[in-house]
Amino acid sequence: MNLTYFLFFLCIIVCTLIITYWAAKRTNTTNRFYIAAGSLTGFQNGMAIAGDFISAASFLGVVGMIAISGYDGFLYSIGFLVSYLVVLFVIAEPVHRLGKYSLGDVICSRFPSDKMRWMMAFGAFIISILYMIPQLVASGFLLRLLLDIDYSISVLVIGGLMTVYVVFGGMVATSWVQIVKTVVLMSGTFLLSLIVFSNFNWDLTALIDRVKEGTPLGDSFFIPGHLFENPLEFFSLQLALVLGTAGLPHILMRLFTVRNTFEVRRSLLSSTWIIGLFYMMTLVLGLGTVALLGYPNLIANDPTGNLAAPLLAREVGGDFLLAFVSAIAFTTIVAVVAGLVISATAAFSHDIFHHILKKGQSTEKEQLRAARWTAVGIGLISTLFALRLETINVTFLVSMTFIVAAASNFPVLVLTLYWKRFTQVGAMTAMVSGLVASLVLMVLGPHIMNVDGGWIARAPIIGLYNPGIIAIPIGFLGGIFGSIVSHKQAQSKAEYQRFYMQSQTGVMSRGEKP
């Protein structure tokens, strides 16, 4: 075990636990546990959103993808960035005005029923678990690589930490862990980018020329077409990334942690700038990896490219900088996983326990106890899954999560907010059809069915690795078909106008503000 690596990781753990201890003293109500009592400013929440969104797949995966696939790798990151425009202009403000703690609140403000809450809670749980598993698996490999700790122990450490953050600190601790993560991530990435440029005397042309020499792609490194042979595959992936963010429960939940819609806008504008700057720096790091480390060395050390950033750090700064960058990756994983746990916790304890099982009559103490036990259960379930999947490549679950969110939650949200003939049956049909289509297409696709080492050793029935272009329309069509069939259950024009007025202005029918 390298002492430098260990001290960096220990420092991160101690700092985050101090934040949790501080937050635990302030987390004595469900309002503070779920949404930090709306106490964050727009800029603070924007930093937390960025910390929640920039996962290990972004920090480790995108840098490697740029180094290996060139221009296409950078286009991949653009899909993540553009997705925030959809959230800002289509989803954000209505969700803030209609919801309290969860997406179930938003949809049930128009279609109040236990069935609808069950459906939304189940979708949020599935999406959170799908996203959580690859983060925990990545953390296990990272700690095993750097600290020579057994994979199982590594996963248990991360799983235990994320559970502690949420159980004791709730959204307050989660938010500040994510803010600290954003500061450390941006500082470290900026420092590494400056070191890369300094190696070429701040001459971008010299960097580009060295990249062309260091990659087998040559001049075509800066031309699209290397990530996927089929353009439809790439378009399908980008569609899922752009629309999927607007359906991720752990991102949308952050819209409730500020006081008003002005702060919501500030949150999203701040996070968009931070995320945009981060992905610009990943471009520099990807180019620097090829230029300074070389394509053959990268592939020899890690054919997937996921260790491109740590390898680049070691190349230009030795063990100290490698330890710093690895600690950043560790913080990234912890922050994202904590956000996922609390969104899944809110879906179960708030929607199912409080609203369905207790019929909205549970006390504050009962709700808080249920939320904390739910967090323990979700942490345990996701950790057990990650322990069982050590030998299986689960990185595809990240893109799959966006496809599921874009095909299920996104159609339900958009049609609920903007289509007056939408019905409760349509909402449930959209949710079920999008969710089932995504999962079935995943099982029938080449990630699972593959004669060359897939989970099922046979030819795939669906040829697309990213079936969003099929699953997302199915979600929308399911909602439209269900609403047409149940058109007699549609709200009256006056009822929809009252709902629409509240979602767009925050003014309720009796003229009061919620």
d(CA 381, CA 133): 10
Tens digit of pLDDT per residue, the chain (514 long)?
A: 567 777 888 888 888 888 888 888 888 888 888 898 888 999 999 999 998 888 776 777 788 888 888 888 888 788 888 888 899 899 999 999 998 888 999 999 999 999 999 999 999 989 988 888 888 887 777 777 777 788 888 888 888 888 888 888 888 988 998 998 899 889 989 999 999 999 988 888 998 888 888 888 888 888 887 777 788 888 898 899 899 999 999 899 999 999 899 999 999 999 999 999 999 999 999 999 998 888 888 888 877 777 788 888 888 888 888 888 888 877 888 888 888 888 888 888 889 998 999 988 888 889 889 989 988 988 888 888 888 776 665 667 788 889 999 999 999 999 999 999 999 999 999 999 999 999 999 888 887 877 666 667 677 888 888 899 999 999 999 999 999 999 888 888 888 999 999 998 887 654 444 4
Helix (H, G, I), strand (E, B) or coil at 449: strand
Return the pLDDT at 511: 45
Tokens standing for residue 463: 């040829």
DSSP-derived letter for residue 205 is H
Q: Are 390 and 151 in contact (CB under 8 A)?
A: yes
Which residues, in sequence order, are bridge partners of residue 449? 456
Residue 95, token pair as written in the block: 């969700």
pLDDT of residue 229: 75
Residue 392 confidence (pLDDT): 63
Angle between helices 308-345 and 151-164 (to 10 degrees): 50
Instruction: Determine the Cα–Cα distance for residues 95 and 388; give it in Å rounded to an integer.
Output: 36
Query: CATH fold of 46-110+132-394, please?
Result: Sodium/glucose cotransporter (1.20.1730)
Residue at 63: amino acid letter: V
SS3 341: helix
Query: Which token pair is 169?
Result: 């600190």
Gap between the Cα atoms of 178 and 46, Å rounded: 10
What does the alpha-carbon distance between residue 126 and residue 487 come to, in Å, rounded to a whole number?
A: 29
> How many beta carbons lie within 10 A of that of residue 469, not counting itself?
17
- According to the model, what pLDDT value does residue 443 have? 86
Six-digit token string for 154: 């590594």
pLDDT at 394: 61
Residues in Cβ contact with 195 at an 8 Å cutoff, skipping those fewer than 6 apart: 316, 317, 321
Sign of the alpha-carbon dihedral angle for 171, 265, 50, 187: negative
Tell me the C-alpha distance between 319 and 302, whole Å.
18
Domain boundaries, the chain: 46-110+132-394, 408-514
DSSP structural state of residue 355: I
Burial class (CB in 10 A: 0-12, 13-18, 19+), 392: exposed
pLDDT for 513: 46
The total number of residues written for the chain in this structure: 514
8-33 burial: b if 16+ Cβ within 10 Å, else e: bbeebbeebbebbeebbebbeebbbb
Look up the pTM and report it. 0.89
